[in-house]
């Protein structure tokens, strides 16, 4: 599978599984774009701090959901969890639209986050194991960048739904949360055609099923040549009699790959703070400091979203050709330096709503590729048996350390009305990104154009004699 060129099967897999990031982008954008409507809602009437707290509840749910569903993904398989996590998301985001008060709204946002967090672990692990080696980096970055297609849909949707006079004040924001539920229902049907990961089946004693799936994929990709520079990886493996455990994860992280564990945590935490601090509260900044009305916030998010989508899409190929280490370090460093410059202009009052949006558009062209590369690094750096659990752990720890408190902190800073206070928060985010760039140069792994089993040998390997080609 690693040596196959791109085919119809891969396109279907990307469409059916990559929707996770679209849904997350939609949810995050809705939470920010409808913040003005939530404050004006006759039912909820949320404060700035409560809006920030509901965003933090979403992130907290994503952390716990990623950890719990990641554990199940390694135990029960990738495919089963496709449907469970998406079902949780659909139910919870629909319930958010019906919330009668702040407590219930925060609870439903928490459960929505849990579904999305679970999606991240199941989908990241599956995609890594299905995509050919020559396309793994650019595909992963492009899919992570599709978060911003969801953000764009959320921005445009709220612009229409929150337009004064179109719907009653307490209805428009509720309809906005229904967008994700409707989209998720359609994707449930598309996922039915996707198989289980052959790699997962092999180590769980189901080689016949794995072989049949690989043969079907190869038939789907017809008339294609095998790249000459992608030799097969042959390993002798034993069937796992026991389910994956946290002991297996601990062995991988602290005995076999401690440097990768440190790098993954730094990359995930720094990008989580960077993104969650700025994006979750951008609508609040536009309203308080630039007097942008709630119904027009979505328009300012459009160029921001497009920049974030095209960054990974256009830069992704370089992660496969130039290499992981130089590109990850470069994108993190540029993000930090550009954010520091934008923070200085904001504190000096040199920006308008339009130029502030232009500044973020430039910053996040590179930051989006950097953030996507953090997920790429974690998902390909650890063994097959604990891949989903490792993704969950680093997503959970990174988001917990760098992301959960960020919206609440920045919401409180925005509430003070002091640009200098917010500026220091931006500087903190810039410093974290520069730290991550240095960590990548020191600890980074050259995983480009290498099989996953070559980057991190499965725990089930007995020796290196040739018996199974993956």
Residue 165 corresponds to which tokens in the numbers above?
Answer: 């006079």
Beta strand residue intervals within 181-313, DSSP E:
234-237
With beta carbons less than 8 A apart as the criterion, state whether 92 and 24 touch: no
Residues 185-198: tens digit of each pLDDT: 878 877 888 888 88
Percent of residues, the chain, with pLDDT higher than 70: 90
pLDDT of residue 467: 38
Q: In whole angstroms, give the CA distance from residue 69 to residue 389.
A: 8
User: What are the residues facing 109 on neighbouring strands?
Assistant: none
CB atoms within 10 A of CB 259: 13
Three-point CA angle 146, 470, 202, nearest 5°: 95
**For residue 241, what pLDDT band results from cuts at 50, 70 and 90?**
low
Backbone angles phi, psi at 222, to 5 degrees: -95, 150
Instruction: Give the largest CA-CA distance in the chain.
Output: 71
Residues 270-322: tens digit of each pLDDT: 998 888 777 766 777 888 788 888 767 777 878 888 898 899 999 999 999 99
**For residue 465, what pLDDT band results from cuts at 50, 70 and 90?**
very low
Q: In whole angstroms, give the CA distance from residue 33 to residue 411.
A: 14
Examine the pLDDT at 216 and tell me if it is beyond 60: yes
Examine the pLDDT at 338 and tell me if it is beyond 90: yes
Q: In whole angstroms, give the CA distance from residue 347 to residue 326.
A: 32
With beta carbons less than 8 A apart as the criterion, state whether 220 and 7 touch: yes
pLDDT of residue 291: 83
With beta carbons less than 8 A apart as the criterion, state whether 99 and 105 touch: yes
Check if CATH label 1.20.1250.20 holds for domain 8-469.
Answer: yes
**For residue 235, what pLDDT band results from cuts at 50, 70 and 90?**
low
DSSP code of residue 447: -
Nearest to 342 by CA among 409, 440, 310, 334: 334
Integer CA distances (angstroms), 66 to 125, 132, 400, 432, in order: 12, 25, 12, 23
Three-point CA angle 119, 124, 125, nearest 5°: 110
If you average pLDDT over residues 347-363, what whole number do you get?
A: 89
pLDDT of residue 64: 87
Beta strand residue intervals within 278-428, DSSP E:
none
Q: In whole angstroms, give the CA distance from residue 357 to residue 233.
A: 47
Q: Can you say whether residue 291 is alpha, beta or left, with left for phi > 0 and alpha for psi between -120 and 50 degrees?
A: left
Residue scoring higher pLDDT (236 or 323):
323
pLDDT of residue 243: 63
What is the distance in angstroms between the CA of the first residue and the CA of the last residue of the chain? 7
Q: In whole angstroms, give the CA distance from residue 143 to residue 337.
A: 25
Q: Give the lowest-confidence range in 176-180, 208-212, 360-364.
A: 176-180
pLDDT of residue 340: 92
Q: In whole angstroms, give the CA distance from residue 353 to residue 80.
A: 45
Q: In whole angstroms, give the CA distance from residue 4 to residue 6.
A: 7
pLDDT of residue 441: 96
With beta carbons less than 8 A apart as the criterion, state whether 435 and 266 touch: yes
The residues near 295 (Cβ < 8 Å, ≥ 6 apart) are 36, 159, 162, 163, 164
Residue-averaged pLDDT of the chain: 82
**For residue 232, what pLDDT band results from cuts at 50, 70 and 90?**
low
**For residue 466, what pLDDT band results from cuts at 50, 70 and 90?**
very low
pTM of the predicted protein model: 0.79
Strand pairing category for 234-237 and 461-469 = antiparallel
Which residue matches tokens 């095209």?
310
Residue 381 corresponds to which tokens in the numbers above?
Answer: 């750096």
pLDDT of residue 373: 94
Examine the pLDDT at 55 and tell me if it is beyond 90: no
CB atoms within 10 A of CB 303: 16
- Local structure of 236: helix, strand or coil: strand
Residue scoring higher pLDDT (263 or 204):
263
With beta carbons less than 8 A apart as the criterion, state whether 59 and 66 touch: no
Residues 372-411: tens digit of each pLDDT: 999 899 989 998 888 888 888 888 887 777 666 666 677 7
Helix, strand and coil in the chain, % to nearest 5: 75, 5, 20
Residues 95-130: tens digit of each pLDDT: 988 888 888 988 999 999 899 888 878 777 878 888
Examine the pLDDT at 469 and tell me if it is beyond 90: no
């Amino acid at each position: 599978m690693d040596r196959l060129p791109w085919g119809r099967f891969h396109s279907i897999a990307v469409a059916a599984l990559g929707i996770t990031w679209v849904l997350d982008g939609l949810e995050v954008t809705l939470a920010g774009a409808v913040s003005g409507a939530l404050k004006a809602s006759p039912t909820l009437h949320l404060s700035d701090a409560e809006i920030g707290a509901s965003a933090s509840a979403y992130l907290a749910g994503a952390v716990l959901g990623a950890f719990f569903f990641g554990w199940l993904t390694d135990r029960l398989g990738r495919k089963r969890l496709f449907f469970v996590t998406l079902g949780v998301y659909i139910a919870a985001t629909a319930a958010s639209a019906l919330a009668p008060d702040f407590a219930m709204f925060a609870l439903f946002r928490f459960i929505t986050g849990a579904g999305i967090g679970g999606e991240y672990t199941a989908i990241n692990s599956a995609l890594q194991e299905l995509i050919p080696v020559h396309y793994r980096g650019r595909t992963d970055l492009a899919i992570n960048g599709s978060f911003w297609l969801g953000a764009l849909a959320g921005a445009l949707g709220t612009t229409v739904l929150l337009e004064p006079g179109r719907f009653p004040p307490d209805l428009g924001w509720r309809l906005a949360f229904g967008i994700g539920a409707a989209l998720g229902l359609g994707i449930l049907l598309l996922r039915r055609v996707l198989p289980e990961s052959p790699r997962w089946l092999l180590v769980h004693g189901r080689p016949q099923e794995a072989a049949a799936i690989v043969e079907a994929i190869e038939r789907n990709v017809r008339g294609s040549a095998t790249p000459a520079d992608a030799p097969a990886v042959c390993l002798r493996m034993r069937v796992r009699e026991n389910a994956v455990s946290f002991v297996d994860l601990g062995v991988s992280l602290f005995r076999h790959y401690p440097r990768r564990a440190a790098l993954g945590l730094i990359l995930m935490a720094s990008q989580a703070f960077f993104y969650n601090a700025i994006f979750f509260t951008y609508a609040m900044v536009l309203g308080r400091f630039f007097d942008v009305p709630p119904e027009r916030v979505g328009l300012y998010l459009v160029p921001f979203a497009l920049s974030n989508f095209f960054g990974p899409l256009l830069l992704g190929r370089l992660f496969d050709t130039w290499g992981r280490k130089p590109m990850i370090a470069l994108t993190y460093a540029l993000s930090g330096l550009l954010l520091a410059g934008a923070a200085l202009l904001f504190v000096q009052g040199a920006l308008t709503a339009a130029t502030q949006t232009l500044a973020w558009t430039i910053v996040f062209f590179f930051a989006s590729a950097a953030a996507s590369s953090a997920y790429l690094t974690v998902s390909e750096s650890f063994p097959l048996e604990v891949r989903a659990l490792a993704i969950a752990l680093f997503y959970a720890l990174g988001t917990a350390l760098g992301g959960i408190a960020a919206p609440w902190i920045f919401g409180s800073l925005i509430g003070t009305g002091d640009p200098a206070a917010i500026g220091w928060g931006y500087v903190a985010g810039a410093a974290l990104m520069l730290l991550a760039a240095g960590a990548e140069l020191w600890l980074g792994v050259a995983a480009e154009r290498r099989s996953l089993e070559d980057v991190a040998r499965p725990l089930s390997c007995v020796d290196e004699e040739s018996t199974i080609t993956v």
